[in-house]
Structure formats: C-alpha cells, structure tokens
Amino acid sequence: MQPLDEQQAAARTWFEHLRDLICAEFEAIEAEAGSDARFVYTPWDRVDPSGEPGGGGVRGVMKGKVFEKVGVNVSTVGGVLDGDFGKTIHGAGDDPRFCATGISLVAHMANPHVPAVHMNTRMLATTKRWFGGGADLNPPLPIAEDTADFHAVLQAACDAHDPAHYPRFKQWADDYFYIPHRHVHRGVGGIFYDHLEGDFARDFAFTQDVGRAFLDIYPRIVRRRMATPFTDADLAQQRAWRGRYAEFNLVYDRGTLFGLKTGGNIDAILMSLPPVATWD
C-alpha cells in the first residue's frame, strides 16, 4: 500500500478520533446501567491481491447490558482492486489502484425499545476522490418521537451545508435501505450519500458533521429508552426484525460486498450481523 497523502491521512485521523468519541460514550452508557462492559479491540492486517501489504484496521466490539452487541470498526486499506469488481468502482475502470479509509458502526440493543442503528462514513480515492456514508435508525418497535428526533438532527447537519442535502440524502436512504424480496424498508431511514466529490474541504467538513450529529442524537435516544420495560412479545418482534436486518446486509449491502471483494477482515465485515435472530 502506498503511503497516505495529506488528505487521506486527515480523513483517517478523523475517523479514528470519531471512533474514540463514540466508544467512550457507549461505555459511559454501560456504566450508567451498572455494567462494566468495555470495547475489546482487535487489529487486523490486509494483504493486497498483488501480494503486497494492503493496510488494515481495528475491529472494536462490546457486549454489555445495554448494548447486546455493538461493533465500531475503522480501517484504511489500499492497493489494487481485483478483476471485474474494480471496474464497478467509481473512477477505477481504467486504473485499479485505490485507497479507502472509514468508520463503520452497527449496534444491536438488549432492550427492544431501543432502536438498533447503523452509521458509516468513508473516503475513497481512485482516479476520483469522494466521500460517502450516512446513518439510519432501525427500531424493532418504532417510536415516533425517536424517529423525528433522529431525522431532525441529521437534517440540521445537512442544512448547515446545503439545504438540498437532506431531502436528497433522505430519499437515497429510503431507496437504498429497502429489502425488495420482503417489500419492506430496513428501518425508519436516515440519510445516505455517496460520490460526494469536488471540494475536499467542503465534503470532508460535511462528513465530519454527519459523525458529530450521530454522536449527538443516538446516545440521547438510548438513554431515553434503555430502562423501558418489555415483554416476551416485544423480544420476539425484535428477533424477527433482526432476521430482516441480516437478510439486507448479506444480500444487498454494498459495504459488505466491498469488504469481501477487497480482502477485508471477515469478522469486521460481518460484525453487523445480530447476535440472536429468528426466522419463522
């Protein structure tokens, strides 16, 4: 893997810093619930298809009283995209060299009244250079207040940069986080964006604000709901919904495919899968 340039290094530093902020907040929530659960971090290295070192990352996982399973991964990988897959990646059709750095998070919660969540932001460089990512809320038992607050914070982050961002990126999330064979959405949405390119400083600032917005709103929702009593029926609904979540991530999710096609760490790629799920 080639040494990172200034922009790539700045992006990697931010994603690692955001990881540290999020993990500290999630550990604080566990402590508030009387749990001593902490993240366990496992570094991994990648070998490029060329045989050269291809970067790597750190997989962070916590299993606690509030967070039944939460994974927060950061990675910075690069080298040469392999075969026909490389031709499908923006800007890599004629030159397969790439560098990707980002953060990916999925939280599955012990209490079915606390929504599961997904967030990832990333920067990719081929012959093009762009940011992508977003965040979406995935409640087994949707609560209108939580959905409204989650979207309001994301909209405020978008509006601070471009009033056109939120309606466009919300619709993109609605279209993307959909399970065609079930004819249902994966959750209650959020924002999703990709191929945000042009002005590095502007697009990087927006991507940072998406991360900050997530760090602002999601812990508030967790604290609001984590002590809510629940029934066996609520738990059954959560586990059935998790089956739908797993189906989307294994069949349709682009990040899962990218990780598998580029030789990423299997445990880090599949950390998004829930710890317990059911299918009728």
Which residues form the catalytic set? 118
CA angle 255, 139, 264 (to 5 degrees): 20
Helix (H) or strand (E) holding 118: strand 116-125
Characterize 226-259 residue by residue with b for buried, 16 or more Cβ atoms within 10 angstroms of its Cβ, and e for exposed.
beeebeeeebebbbebbebbbbbbeebbebbebb
Count helices and strands (H / E) in the chain.
Answer: 8, 9
Contacts 24+ apart (CB under 8 A), 118-123: 118/272, 119/211, 119/214, 119/218, 120/255, 121/15, 121/18, 121/207, 121/210, 121/211, 122/15, 123/7, 123/8, 123/11, 123/204, 123/207
Parallel, antiparallel, or unpaired: how do β-strands 184-185 and 97-109 relate?
Answer: unpaired
Residue 217: helix, strand or coil by DSSP? Answer: helix
What letter represents residue 31's amino acid?
A
Among residues 188, 69, 90, the alpha carbon closest in space to that of 135 is found at 188
Report how far Cα 210 is from the mean position of its chain's Cα atoms.
Answer: 11
